[in-house]
Amino acid sequence: MNARPDPDQATPAFAAHDHRACEARALDEAEGRLARQGGRMTPVRRRTLEILLESHRAMGAYEVLDRLAAEGFGRQPPVAYRALDFLVEHGLAHRLQRLNAFAACLHPGQDHAPAFLICRACDTLAELPAPPVHAALSDLAAETGFAVERATIEAVGLCPACAGAPA
Ligand SMILES: [Zn+2]
Ligand SMILES: [Zn+2]
Ligand SMILES: [Zn+2]
């Protein structure tokens, strides 16, 4: 039996929700973050972020490139890689190591230490704020004398919808 999700911890990624509101908020926070950093939101960077924000799913660089090419931004892979790298460097998107893919950051308004939950059945991806997880990892590493500078925490499993679906 699954534990009932705590509403304070629940992520919209796993429930029916108004995704337009998600998209609009993340885009708005991203613009604000970039302005504070003095970065420039060019049309291709903005479009790349919008494409990533369309769903709670990570996308490979080639999938992003196909979309950009179809919209006339150019077909050369560097077009997509440069835009994705820019978004990751500025904290507007995350690179998922396990999937070799990218996802828009849903909380670019604050600096944060996320953990990612990836559904292996439907590819839904949730980003959770997880400072305690990062702190625990840093503490464990410190016991060996290792100073953690960056950690990506990615868990694979089943989302509530897929866990509840008949096999
Ligand atoms: Zn959403
Ligand atoms: Zn994030
Ligand atoms: Zn799922």
Are the C-beta atoms of 123 and 161 separated by less than 8 Å?
Answer: no
Lowest pLDDT segment from 4-13, 33-42, 63-72, 81-90: 4-13
CATH 3.90.1150.10 is held by the domain 13-159:
no
pLDDT of residue 113: 87
pTM of the full predicted structure?
0.86
In this prediction, residues 64-90 reach a mean pLDDT of 94
User: From the CA of 135, how far away is ligand 3's center (Å)?
Assistant: 28
Closest CA to 113 of 83, 145, 136: 136
User: From the CA of 156, how far away is ligand 3's center (Å)?
Assistant: 10
Average pLDDT, the chain: 90
Q: How many CB atoms lie within 10 A of CB 42?
A: 12
Q: Which of the four pLDDT bands, split at 50, 70 and 90, describes residue 155?
A: very high
22 labeled part of a ligand binding site: no
Percentage of the chain beyond pLDDT 90 is: 75
159 labeled part of a ligand binding site: yes
